[in-house]
Amino acid sequence: MNQPHIHLLDLPDEMLLTIFKNLHNTSVLYSFLGTGNNRLDTLLRDQTLTNNIDLTSIDDITILHQALFCVLPRIHHIVRDLTFETSSINRVFRAGTYPKLTHLNIKDPSITKNDGLFLRDLQSNIFSSSILTELCIYVHTFDDCLYLLDGRLSRLNSFTVRVYDVDTRSSITHNQNNLLKLKYFSLTCRNDICTYTYDNRIIPLLHRMPNLEQLLLCLTIRNHNGLIDGTHLQNEILIYMPFLNNFACDIRTRNLNNGSLPTLSNDDIQQTLSNIKYGSMMGSIRYFSTNSYLCHIFTLPFAFDRLQCLTNHFPNAIFDRVCYLSIHDVLPFEHEFFTRLSQAFPSLKHLTVMNTIAQQNNNQSYSLIEFKNLNYLNVMPADISYLAQFLLNTRTNLPSLAELHVKYKHLKTVTEDFTRDATRFNCTKIKRLHTEGTLVHSNDYFRYFPLIYN
């Protein structure tokens, strides 16, 4: 090793492969595959470099295009585990046939804005495989979910699906055979969209899965005949799955209170969950002035990245996976509640506050709360006191806040027409401000939100 200059290709194969294995495999393949060097091409087809390809890790759009058009066509026949975003799906499947693919993960980069894949719009040969065992995907309709379970993925044993719209039906008649090979099933329906066809669509699908060992359900259900509590879970779902050993759920029932249901307490709901044998469960019920109620049950530890309609009544637990949260109650959220919230949700990025009841506790000696990762805040459907709760730097520190949804008249009042120093700090990093209508802003407004102005 006394030579002053050593070329990469002077190194032995074992050393080259060791170096490549310690680098990001997609970057290595993009940089060296197809350079015309047969020795490098052979080394780069080593299974440790090509087994698992994650295209979502590529931030540079130019490199991503090169990976799609130059790298994948050369290695498609040896890839076993593939991850990419929904926007790339057609280009990925045009790049090859993937005869050894057993694990497929199709991610949505922005589930709050994208409404999932329409599988009917894709090539007919996509999602037909006799060897795929694991699929993770975000689809538009529940029919797309049923489409994937009609027998075309004959060896599928793990299926994770997020569905945008459960209720919309197509004219397609789907295969209703039992899914005997399926051992893991995770179904998440977009949280802010309720399903009205839970009994007719979701329950029959679950009954086709008698050999499940793990089940995860995240649902919002409206106009169900009664509420979804522990008794319903046991009698309508869990009893049909004798091999189930792991169950997690986050289920909300939103119904009109037509008088057919007796008035229940949180303790009543909690009691129905006491016989569920798969771990701790939390249940609550809230009655609203609109003659409606919300029943909410979920397992702990919490298994999902989103939690909707959390009330003042939540357990002393850490929800470390939750990035997206909405809170809703007919009782005010006081400062102490937000103190608990900041401690219980350390990864929180998106928060929506729905509460028209003003805070009652006007104690001036507030402890300072910090939401370190919060970059999206929506207080549009909330009393003005909650905007003050978040913007006043004597109460809350928001070092990452970049997007705010708010009523303009509330914003003007709390910031004292964009001159108040106590609310200025939490506004300095905001890049997107959403209010009602088109407004003409003063110079004070632009000085208050310098990143919007720029």
Which DSSP string corresponds to 22-66? TS-HHHHHHHHTTSS-HHHHHHHT-HHHHSEEEGGG---HHHHHH
State whether the Cα torsion 132-136-137-141 is positive or negative.
positive
Q: How many CB atoms lie within 10 A of CB 238?
A: 20
CA dist., res. 229 & res. 284, Å (int):
10
State whether the Cα torsion 316-319-323-324 is positive or negative.
negative
CA dist., res. 301 & res. 16, Å (int):
44
Burial of 347 by CB count in 10 Å (0-12 exposed, 13-18 middle, 19+ buried)?
Answer: middle
pLDDT computed for residue 348 by the predictor: 98
Which residue in the block uniquely carries the two structure tokens 């130059």? Answer: 70
- What is the token pair recorded at 110? 């922005």
pLDDT computed for residue 454 by the predictor: 47
pLDDT computed for residue 45 by the predictor: 65
The residues near 178 (Cβ < 8 Å, ≥ 6 apart) are 208, 209, 210
CA dist., res. 251 & res. 279, Å (int):
16
pLDDT computed for residue 115 by the predictor: 65
CA dist., res. 188 & res. 326, Å (int):
16
Given a contact cutoff of 8 angstroms between Cβ atoms, the answer to whether 254 and 194 are in contact is: yes
pLDDT computed for residue 2 by the predictor: 55
pLDDT computed for residue 179 by the predictor: 95
52 DSSP β-pair partners:
81
Q: How many CB atoms lie within 10 A of CB 124?
A: 7
Alpha-helix runs per DSSP H in 259-372:
266-272, 335-344
- What is the mean pLDDT of each successive set of 10 residues along the chain, which is 454 residues long? 59 68 65 62 67 83 82 87 88 89 85 64 72 93 89 94 83 82 93 73 95 96 85 96 97 80 88 92 87 91 93 93 94 96 97 96 83 97 97 96 96 95 95 84 88 72
The residues near 235 (Cβ < 8 Å, ≥ 6 apart) are none
pLDDT computed for residue 52 by the predictor: 85
Given a contact cutoff of 8 angstroms between Cβ atoms, the answer to whether 184 and 211 are in contact is: no
- What is the token pair recorded at 373? 């990762």
Mapped onto helix, strand or coil, the DSSP state of residue 195 is strand
The pTM is what?
Answer: 0.85
Q: Sort residue 179 into left (φ over 0), alpha (ψ -120 to 50) or beta.
A: beta
User: What secondary structure does DSSP assign to 66-131, as a single string?
Assistant: HIIIIIHHHHGGG--EEEEEGGGHHHHHHS---TT--EEEEE-S-TTT---B-GGGS-TTTT-BSS
Given a contact cutoff of 8 angstroms between Cβ atoms, the answer to whether 399 and 429 are in contact is: yes
Mapped onto helix, strand or coil, the DSSP state of residue 306 is strand
Given a contact cutoff of 8 angstroms between Cβ atoms, the answer to whether 269 and 295 are in contact is: yes
Burial of 12 by CB count in 10 Å (0-12 exposed, 13-18 middle, 19+ buried)?
Answer: exposed
CA dist., res. 298 & res. 319, Å (int):
12
192-207: pLDDT as tens digits: 566 778 888 899 999 9
pLDDT computed for residue 436 by the predictor: 85
pLDDT computed for residue 1 by the predictor: 45
Helix 25-32 and helix 13-21: axis angle, to 10°?
A: 130
pLDDT computed for residue 414 by the predictor: 97
Chain center to CA of 279:
23
